Amino acid sequence: MDEIQLPNVAILSSPRMGHLIPCIELAKRFLLHHNITVTFITISDGYSLEIQNDVKAGLPDKVRSVVLPPVSLDDLPQEARVEGRACIAIKRSLPNLRNVLETLASTTPLVALVVDLFGAEAIEVAKEVGVSSYLYFPSTFMGLSFLLNLPTLDATFLGEYRDLPEPLKFPGCVPIPPSEMPDALSDRSCDGYAAMLNQSRLYKEAEGVLVNSLVDLEPEAVKALKSDGATNPPVYPIGPLVRTGTGNTGGADWAKWLDEQPRGSVLFVCFGSGGVLSLEQLNELAFGLEMSGQRFLWVVRSPHKKEANAKLFAAQSIDDPFDYLPQGFLSRTKGLGFVVSSWVPQVEVLSHGSTGGFVSHCGWNSSLESIVHGIPMIAWPLYAEQKMNALLLVEDLKVALRPKAGDGGLIEREDIVRVAKELIEGEEGKELKKTVQKLKEASALALEEGGSSYKALSNLACKLKSLK
């Protein structure tokens, strides 16, 4: 069959790693497993175009890639939250998006637009062009439940949610203490809250919601959302869609070091593409790793000098992060640990036989990658919805331990020692490993032909093909 005759789906992604990666994996599944061509659309918002290009290099050659012209965000306050900036960038790009969709509709069998969670305003553009519209939620069913209920919460409660006396309860989800709410929703006066409230009101306009999770991870939440089909759009559990490793580490020093370590003995410490610690927290983590006596591979970044704790996508310092480590730390831990500046290919580390645990910021991509490779976690949430993800990983799935943070948010070295030793060599750590191994197997089965996630996306693909 000639490719031009195949149905075409446009996928609109926010220009952030946590959105680009799952959107790219979705594009690959549509093309390689369901014979649907994809036009991948992103926005240039000034955030590291080089990173965007590196990530998009993973797209198959047959996927068309379109970058919408940049829009100005200069009028936004410097302290504007990333959620608000992403929503506004997409909103201001809608005229350009309409032009792209109209061209696609006139030259290909365009059947649908899939937008990520910050792009719900593009649903109306899809309607104007005459194609179906779907939301892709690259996070948990618990997070989706929260946002679908946000308009009701907004109309019901006065004041700040963080002052509520009891946890928030949604059907099928672990109760959410006010302190664990997403950052953008913890302050109703901020631009991020207004943006997410507006998005959540538009979610129900979508013809369906694709969720990067699977039934085995959140069975009750999936069941609750599906049973509420009268008010919510249909949900499609299609995960876990994660990057796969290339297996090519280029003879890197850290990879050689990992090869020499005992199986399952190394604690991998990495806070994602945007996590930055304060100087005080960086030092506590260093001393905690040293005192624990556990082997570790640590991806370290220069600290954020103004924030008390982590900052989402804080400007990366050009300073050498090694300069901020405690004096003598590198020499004292030589052989026990290996410290890398700024970046390593995370999937390659998690899939390595020597890796036995993952100190993670609990971004959903990283959490899924850890589960897919059967690696238990130490949950160290930093920003966005990560505290809510940590709650799911620790309290519900039971695949992670969580250190205790003090009143100022600081996690002290003694508690780092506790969780590091327990995860790698303790009895609770052994139970976590058994649990995450079962979820690893369930995740693999879900994506195989006939698995729950494969069937969910296949059902949607059949529906889209019928629209051609």
List alpha helices for 262-408, DSSP H.
279-292, 329-332, 346-350, 364-372, 386-391
Helix (H, G, I), strand (E, B) or coil at 449: coil
The torsion angle over the Cα atoms of residues 456, 385, 380 and 222, rounded to 10 degrees, is -30
Active site residue 373: no
- What type of residue sits at position 222? V
Residue from 135, 107, 141 nearest 13 by CA: 135
Contact 393, 362 (CB under 8 A): yes
Q: Which residues lie closer than 8 Å to 284 by C-beta, 6 or more apart?
A: 410, 411, 412, 413, 416
Kind plus residue range of the DSSP H or E element containing 429:
helix 427-447
Of how many residues is the chain composed?
468
Task: State how far the alpha carbon of 247 is from the alpha carbons of 43, 171, 305, in Å.
Answer: 30, 41, 36
Distances (CA, A) of 94 to 100, 148, 229, 422: 10, 23, 29, 50
Would residue 415 show up in a list of annotated catalytic residues for this protein? no
Task: Report residue 113 CA to chain centroid gap.
Answer: 21
Q: Which of 116, 183, 191, 216 is catalytic?
A: 116
Q: Could you list the active site residues?
A: 19, 116
